[in-house]
Amino acid sequence: MRMPTLRQASLPSIRGRLTRWILAVSWVAGLALATTVGVLLHYALDELLDDGLQESAEVLYGLLSQNSDHIARQRGMLPAPSHEEGLVWQLVGNDGRMWLRSHRAPGTPLTPQAAAGFSNAPLWRIYSMPLPDGTAVLHVAQSADHRHHAQLWTVGGSLGLSLLVGCLAVLWLKVRVSTEMQPLHNLSAVVRSFDPLRPDATLPAAARAELLPLVSALNDLADRLRARVAHERAFAAHAAHALRTPLAGIDMQLAVAQREAPASMQARLNQTREAAARLRRVTTALISLFRAGGQMNWQAVQLKALVDTLPVRGVHVSVQGEDTLWCDPDLLSAALLNLFDNAARHHASHLQVKVTGHAPIQQISVSDNGEGLSAERLAAVQHALQTGQSEDVLGLGLTLVDLVARNHGGQVSLASGAGGTGCCVTLTLSRQPRASRT
pLDDT of residue 388: 66
Answer for the pair 296, 429: CB distance below 8 angstroms, yes or no.
no
Q: How confident is the model at residue 209 (pLDDT cuts 50, 70, 90)?
A: confident
Rounded to an integer, the average pLDDT of 104-116 is: 84
Sheet holding 117-121, edge to edge: 76-77, 98-101, 88-93, 136-143, 124-130, 117-121
pLDDT of residue 438: 41
The model's pLDDT over 274-327, given as tens digits with 9 standing for 90+, comes to 777 767 766 766 666 665 455 677 888 888 888 887 777 778 888 887 667 888
Answer for the pair 88, 78: CB distance below 8 angstroms, yes or no.
no
pTM above 0.85, yes or no: no
Domain segments of the chain: what residues?
Answer: 12-78+86-192, 193-295, 296-438
Rounded to an integer, the average pLDDT of 106-121 is: 86
pLDDT of residue 436: 42
Rounded to an integer, the average pLDDT of 61-80 is: 64
What is residue 410's DSSP assignment? -
Angle CA 119–121–127, to nearest 5 = 35
Nearest to 111 by CA among 101, 122, 100, 102: 122
Please say if the pLDDT value at position 7 is more than 80.
Answer: no
Rounded to an integer, the average pLDDT of 388-402 is: 72
- Which has more confidence, 73 or 210? 210
pLDDT of residue 67: 64
**403 contacts: CB under 8 Å, gap ≥ 6:** 289, 436, 437
pLDDT of residue 3: 42
- Which has more confidence, 102 or 323? 102
DSSP sequence for 161-186: HHHHHHHHHHHHHHHHHHHHHHHHHH
Average pLDDT, the chain: 77
User: Helix or strand or coil: residue 429?
Assistant: strand
311-316 LR contacts (CB < 8 Å, sep 24+): 311/277, 311/281, 311/337, 312/337, 312/340, 313/274, 313/277, 313/344, 314/344, 315/340, 315/343, 315/344, 315/348, 315/349, 315/350, 315/351, 315/368, 316/349, 316/350, 316/351
DSSP sequence for 338-380: HHHHHHHHTT--EEEEEEEEETTEEEEEEEE-S----HHHHHH
User: Helix or strand or coil: residue 4?
Assistant: coil
Answer for the pair 283, 236: CB distance below 8 angstroms, yes or no.
no
Angle CA 164–167–168, to nearest 5 = 85
Please say if the pLDDT value at position 173 is more than 50.
Answer: yes
Per-residue 3-state assignment (H helix, E strand, C coil) for 232-283: HHHHHHHHHHHHHHHHHHHHHHHHHHHHHCCHHHHHHHHHHHHHHHHHHHHH
Q: How confident is the model at residue 114 (pLDDT cuts 50, 70, 90)?
A: confident
pLDDT of residue 101: 82
Nearest to 408 by CA among 314, 298, 313, 266: 298
* HSE (side-chain half, CA atoms, 13 Å) at 408: 31
**Which range, of 148-157, 173-182, 253-262, averages the lowest pLDDT?**
148-157
Q: How confident is the model at residue 41 (pLDDT cuts 50, 70, 90)?
A: confident
- Which has more confidence, 282 or 9? 282
- CA gap 196, 212 in Å, rounded: 18
Rounded to an integer, the average pLDDT of 387-397 is: 67
Please say if the pLDDT value at position 10 is more than 70.
Answer: no
- CA gap 174, 167 in Å, rounded: 10
pLDDT of residue 83: 60
Nearest to 149 by CA among 161, 157, 141: 157
Answer for the pair 287, 269: CB distance below 8 angstroms, yes or no.
no
Instruction: Please classify residue 52 by burial: count the beta carbons closer than 10 Å to its beta carbon, then call 0-12 exposed, 13-18 middle and 19+ buried.
Output: middle
**Which range, of 10-14, 156-160, 198-202, 353-357, averages the lowest pLDDT?**
10-14
Q: Which CATH fold would you assign to the domain 296-438? A: Heat Shock Protein 90 (3.30.565)
